[in-house]
Chain A
């Protein structure tokens, strides 16, 4: 899935649907909240479809495509219409624009799923390449490292993330070694291959905290739940933030919201 070609010509208006993701729905309320505040600052009119649940990825990655398709069909129904769908997670976004069409290849309703895929954006990609924002008018005094989650590989999101973070006054983004290496989450992989997942997480944490950053950031709460959970188990007091939270807080610091 590395060369995740994002669909061309996606709609990019300011009237959007927000897919808040099941992880934010269950565990990370403030990340979804930050996403809303950031998008509203940019003038977006946000619809939060009430029936939304999960993107279907856990079953998709587990090979249980019948159950995954059930969830994707539900998602397609809930997110009807033609507005851009914005997701504060590279992984859930890639599930919709890449994974879902893959598991529907032989299904009669592929066109419905294709249409869903063709209007789905990862948050940072949407802000920069959808809305044309090239500078972030925020202020944030901190040294951070960023985990480039694997589902951003091959997409324009890493470039978008760099554009936004680099333009925040006071923010210092420190590069890390082996940025291409996975943190070891991989959805159900983390519980079916716990030993390998743990070894991968240990390596990733080592790289992320090598420069003693104030904050470790990422644009995927899945990865962060995994390596963040490891940090907590090890008693590592490392502050972690979703990039949306940094964008939102930087606006607050600059008195913009």
Chain B
């Protein structure tokens, strides 16, 4: 069917095989989430509300908690840096690599490094960077980018991956998942040993103790730190929680919400470089707190989106994401959370992504599954209002002009006249109604029979 919206067009034109991978991947994770969460807790909604409140409180006192976190990290022997934007964080990482005479980096999965295009930057500056998360590694060798924030290659299938491995000289064509994984494992083991720098993100950071929590299922984040001397943690300023005590709540929620696991396989608590009493581990730990427009989001009326812990539950449950896949959102963060966050993080490029908040039936499933209870539909609506006020063309494409309608709805006499006149609609073939919305409606549906004013007549007649 004809459509003016890019995301709808992508969904329409999507390769059926890719569509099915996206759809089934998302649906299965939604079902696992529901089964695990509701088996383990009588009232998971209570947990979601508490977790949302903890994050909201932290955001509202971010200045205090950031300073506290900085002090805690320094006390633990880590070095703390702040980066205002993409250029600043990339330059800071390069500086650390240069100052420590480092050439090669192994890194674990981090959406923030995707956001600031760190790989491209470091490679342009002569460094070697290896993604060690299996999905991210496959994306790296394919020159592709993630379509999901937790399962980045959900859009791919094993046959394509087997071809990529063959092309990269990782063995003859073999699409057995275990063989693929073993080959990647063997290949990556040497990379861990060769690298000088290990870079990670941070899922949660306790301001009280200066402790970073990293959750993975592959253990690659800890390998990134095992064999080299420098650990760099790149962390968005919204990742803070006040105390260690809060971590239990979030670790219990993130695995269950994202993949339906009670707990992720590897959970690491990193509170600084290695101590003298410890035989192994990085000698330097650098924590880089990154803003990259997060303070602008904090100042906006969509600040609740900063609570997000990147579990992906809203993507998985979203009927639009299930149809369109993540790449349709043309940004690092797809799905419901991305439809709010991506346009906001785009700064003055907001108009280019202003259609993202429109890609929702506002069904509210995202809010219902969100472990930090973000009112995503309300935020989507606020952004639709912003897009309209700012005249963002991408957002308005295909949306009927509602000026006449509003006038009609504010004038009861006109409204009632229109209701009685509407009956003529039943005598013309509805396909001939020249309005684009009527045409779009009838691509897949029939219009109902017009009965304008019938109820009012009935009500009046029967009133004694």
Chain A residues close to B by CB (< 8 Å): 1-4, 20, 22, 24-30, 32-33, 36, 48, 50-54, 56, 58-65, 67-68, 70-71, 73-74, 78, 99, 102-103, 150-151, 153-154, 180-182, 184-201, 203, 225-226, 228-230, 232-233
Contact of A189 among B361, B383, B456 (CB under 8 A): B361
- Contact B8 A191, beta carbon cutoff 8 Å: no
The winner among B3, B363, B364, B441 for most chain A CB atoms within 10 A is: B363
Output the least CB separation between B32 and chain A (Å): 14
Q: Looking across the interface, which residue of chain A has its beta carbon closest to that of B354?
A: A63
When chains A and B are docked, how far (Å) is the Cα of A103 from the Cα of B383? 12
Residues of A within 8 A of B382 (CB): 102
Q: Is B398 an interface residue (CB 8 A)?
A: yes
B406 A71 Cβ-Cβ under 8 A: yes
Q: Which residue, of B437, B444, B450, B451, has the highest number of chain A Cβ atoms within 10 A?
A: B444
Q: Which residues of B contact A30 (CB under 8 A)?
A: 455
Q: Is the CB of B444 within 8 A of A71?
A: no
B454 interface hit (Cβ, 8 Å): yes
A22 cross-chain contacts in B, Cβ below 8 A: 409
* Known pairs A59-B402, A181-B319 / 4 extra A-B pairs, C-beta < 8 Å: A27-B448, A28-B448, A52-B412, A103-B381
* Cβ-defined contact, B409 with A26, below 8 A: no
Does B323 contact A200, Cβ atoms closer than 8 Å? yes
Shortest beta-carbon distance from B304 to chain A in Å: 12
28 residue pairs A–B, Cβ–Cβ below 8 Å = A2-B364, A2-B367, A2-B377, A3-B364, A27-B450, A50-B456, A53-B412, A59-B406, A61-B381, A67-B403, A71-B409, A103-B381, A150-B364, A180-B368, A186-B360, A186-B361, A186-B362, A188-B400, A189-B362, A192-B8, A192-B398, A194-B443, A195-B323, A196-B324, A198-B444, A199-B11, A230-B445, A232-B445
In chain B, positions 422-449 with a C-beta closer than 8 Å to chain A are 422, 436-437, 440-449
Contact residues of B with A, CB < 8 Å? 1-5, 7-9, 11-12, 317, 319-320, 323-324, 357-368, 373, 375, 377-378, 381-388, 395-400, 402-403, 405-410, 412, 415, 419, 422, 436-437, 440-456, 458-459
**How far, in angstroms, from A194 to B456 measured CA to CA in the complex?**
32
Q: Is the CB of A195 within 8 A of B1?
A: yes
Shortest CB-to-CB span from A192 to chain B, Å, is: 4
Residue of A nearest to B320 (CB): A196
Q: Which residues of A contact B443 (CB under 8 A)?
A: 194, 198
In the complex the two chains form, what is the Cα distance from A60 to B381 in whole Å? Answer: 8
Chain B residue at minimum C-beta to C-beta distance from A204: B319
CA of A106 to CA of B203, assembled, Å: 35
Cβ-closest chain B residue relative to A227:
B445
- List 3 A-B pairs, minimum CB-CB distance, nearest first: A186-B361, A63-B384, A2-B364
Within the assembled complex, what's the spacing in Å between the Cα atoms of A181 and B456?
34
Decide if B365 touches A2 in the complex (CB within 8 Å): yes
Q: Is the CB of B375 within 8 A of A63?
A: no
- Among A28, A153, A226, the residue within 8 A (CB) of B445 is A226
B386 surroundings in chain A (CB, below 8 A): 63
**A180 near B317: Cβ-Cβ < 8 Å:** yes
Task: Identify whether the interface residues of B are mostly helix, strand, loop, or mixed.
Answer: helix
Closest B residue by C-beta to A61 = B362
- A61 to B363 Cα, complex, angstroms: 11
Q: Which of B11, B408, B450, B459 contacts A48 (CB 8 A)?
A: B459
Closest chain-A Cβ to B187's Cβ sits at a distance in Å of 39
**In the bound complex, CA of A225 to CA of B442 (Å):** 12
Residues of A within 8 A of B440 (CB): 190-192, 194
What is the CB-to-nearest-CB distance from B180 to chain A, in angstroms, rounded to a whole number?
Answer: 31
In the complex formed, the residue of B with least CB distance to A181 is: B319
- State the CA gap A75–B399 with chains docked (Å): 23
- In the complex, the answer to whether B368 meets A154 with C-beta atoms within 8 Å is yes
| Cβ-closest chain A residue relative to B422 | A26
Which residues of B have CB within 8 Å of A52?
412
Residues on the A chain within 8 Å of B415, using CB: 53
Contact status of A63 and B395, CB under 8 A, knowing A27-B451, A198-B1, A229-B445: yes
User: What chain B residues lie within 8 Å of A63 (beta carbons)?
Assistant: 357-358, 381, 383-388, 395-396, 399
Taking CB as reference atom, which chain A residue is nearest B439? Answer: A191
Query: In the complex, what residues of B have CB within 8 A of residue A150's CB?
Result: 361-365
A193 touches B403 (CB 8 A): no
Q: A residues within 8 A CB of B365? A: 2, 150, 153, 180-182
Interface centre among A199, A225, A232 (most CB of B within 10 A): A199
A229, B395: Cβ atoms closer than 8 Å: no
With A2-B364, A53-B408, A200-B319 already in contact, the answer to whether A193 and B450 are too (CB < 8 A) is: no
Bound-state CA distance A110–B402 (Å) is 22
B399, B400, B445, B455 interface centre (most CB from chain A within 10 Å): B445
**Which B residues lie within 8 Å of A182 (CB)?**
319, 361, 363, 365
- When the two chains form their complex, are residues B359 and A193 in contact, meaning their CB atoms are under 8 A apart? yes
State in angstroms the CA–CA spacing of A249 and B337 once bound together. Answer: 44
C-alpha spacing A187/B408, complex, angstroms: 18
State A191–B358 Cα separation when bound (angstroms): 12
Residue of B nearest to A153 (CB): B364
> Which of A53, A193, A225 counts the most B-chain CB atoms under 10 A from its CB?
A193
With known contacts A27-B448, A198-B1, A50–B412 Cβ distance under 8 A? yes
- Indicate whether A154 sits within 8 Å of B364 (C-beta atoms), given known contacts A2-B377, A24-B455, A193-B320: yes
B437 / chain A contacts, CB cutoff of 8 Å? 188, 191
A234 CB, nearest partner CB in chain B, Å = 9
Enumerate chain A residues within 8 angstroms of B398, measured Cβ to Cβ. 191-193
Q: Is B409 within 8 A of A196, CB to CB?
A: no
Given the interface pairs A193-B8, A230-B444, the reply to whether A4 lies near B364 with Cβ below 8 Å is yes
B364 engages A1 (CB within 8 Å): yes
| B416 nearest in chain A by CB position | A50
Contact B441 A25 (CB under 8 A): no
Please tell me if the beta carbons of A102 and B378 are within 8 angstroms of each other in the complex: yes
Known: A28-B451, A53-B415. A195 touches B319 (CB 8 A): no
